[in-house]
Structure 1
Amino acid sequence: MCQLLGMNCNVPTDICFSFEGFRARGGRTDLHSDGWGIAFFEDQGCRLFLDDKASAESAIAELVRDYPIRSLNVIAHIRKATHGHVALQNTHPFQRELWGRYWVFAHNGELKDFTPTDKGRFRPVGDTDSEAAFCHILNTLQQHYPQQQPTPVKLLKSLRKISNDIARHGMFNFLLSNGELLLAYCATDLNYVLRKA
């Protein structure tokens, strides 16, 4: 299974300390060596770094480590491939635009017999169950709210229903952010650290 790291802060913060330990799990201290990625939200923009190499050996990961990007919301992922071959297009986090904002998604788990037949504008580029789930989430949200993002309460209610439906197909843990919100859905064990400044 893949591993996820998310950070949500009230002031822009770098993730260097947490990222270094997480990065080592990508091929040095653990077996997650099938690619990695990290997304940093900055205002309405999003910096996305992806590599299909193990994060422990990645020159791009060294760049991220040495370049302390400050952000309110960060999503990182190290991959152990279960669906889809090892390739850049299958590397998380995935990014799409909805309602004029970037949305970023990373998944841990494995979905069996999950083949959505969405007719919406969001389509997977790679061949992972994860990207198919992300596109299905966005297509369903856009179908229910075609003009603009709903209130946070309505958004969470819709996401809970969509996610519960997807989770019927197997293990489905994910992080999702639009730069304002960082959402975690957990079908197994949720671990987190709360640090206060």
Structure 2
Amino acid sequence: MCELLGMSANVPTDICFSFTGLMQRGGGTGPHRDGWGIAFYEGKGVRTFHDPAASVNSEVARLIQSHPIKSHIVISHIRQANVGGVCLVNTHPFQRELWGRHWTYAHNGQLTAEIFDWPLGDYIPVGTTDSERAFCWLLGEIRREFPKAPTLAEEQERLSLFIQERCDRLRSLGVFNMMLSDADRLYVYCTTKLQWITRRAPFGEAVLQDVEVKVDFGSETTPDDVVTVIATEPLTTNETWHPLKPGEFIVFRLGEIEHLSEENPPLPVS
């Protein structure tokens, strides 16, 4: 299995602290040695870094760890290969264009070979993973159902419900933990393992689980900041993370929950 990391914030925020914990799991405290990648949204633009090497030994990962790139939305992934060789083209997160926006996607899990029989629309995989194939299918389905970008609140809600339904179909093929973004929202779907935490005032200290690093968010933030972090497993030892349930779908915008599966009411924020 791979591991995922995502962030949604209401102000440009760096993810150096959380990424420092995640990168240890890429060949250090975890077995995910088969590449890693990260995408930072800056307005409609997206800054991406990929490396097929283990993140714990990656000079590029150390650059990300030490360089505070600020973003509203971040998606990161460390890989333990199941389908497709270990190479740059198979390294998440993947990107495609829709409605003049960069859509970014990362997947944790493994789908059956049936995914390679599902017909594709306008998007064709570059690599050989089941993950990228599922992304191309999903984005093609969205493009077919929504030729134009939603502009009204009810249209956006219908899009969220549509993405959830298509994720339910992908889940029928195996483990499908996913993060997807269009530069405005972060869509998150859980099959087995995903946890989230929302940090807001009053901010406190956080201690990483995988390496001896801690930070006082009170000295790094303002009282109006809202930052939600999502990860496969909790990254800190002294905070309360909220597990998503199998089949749960959640949409974050500017750090807050915009949409949540009806059968699962929101959990209290920390």
Q: TM-score, normalised by structure 1?
A: 0.96
Residues matched between the structures, number: 197
Q: Which residue number corresponds to residue 181 of structure 1?
A: 185
Structure exhibiting the larger radius of gyration computed from Cα positions = 2
Distance 1:99 1:154, change over 3 A: same
1:196 aligns with 2:196: no
Matching residue's letter, 2:119: D
1:72 aligns with 2:58: no
Secondary structure at 2:159's aligned position in 1? helix
Structure 2 CA distance, aligned partners of 1:115 and 1:121? 15
Asked if structure 2 preserves the Cα contact closer than 8 Å seen for 1:173 and 1:187, the reply is yes
Q: Which residue number corresponds to residue 46 of structure 1?
A: 46
Cα shift at 1:119: 4.3
Distance 1:148 1:116, change over 3 A: farther
Within 5 Å, which residues of 2 pair with 1:97-176?
97-112=97-112, 113-149=114-150, 151-176=155-180
Asked if structure 1 preserves the Cα contact closer than 8 Å seen for 2:39 and 2:49, the reply is yes
Structure 2 CA distance, aligned partners of 1:149 and 1:26? 38
Matching residue's letter, 2:131: S
Structure 1 CA distance, aligned partners of 2:89 and 2:168? 26
Secondary structure at 1:189's aligned position in 2? coil
CA displacement 1:87-141 (0-9 Å, x = unmatched): 1000000011101100000000100021244342211000000000000011001
- Gap runs ≥5 in structure 2: 202-270
Structure 1 CA distance, aligned partners of 2:194 and 2:88? 27
Identity between Structure 1 and Structure 2 (%) = 48
Distance 1:133 1:98, change over 3 A: same
CA displacement 1:22-69 (0-9 Å, x = unmatched): 011101111000000000000010001000000011111111112110
- Gap runs ≥5 in structure 1: none
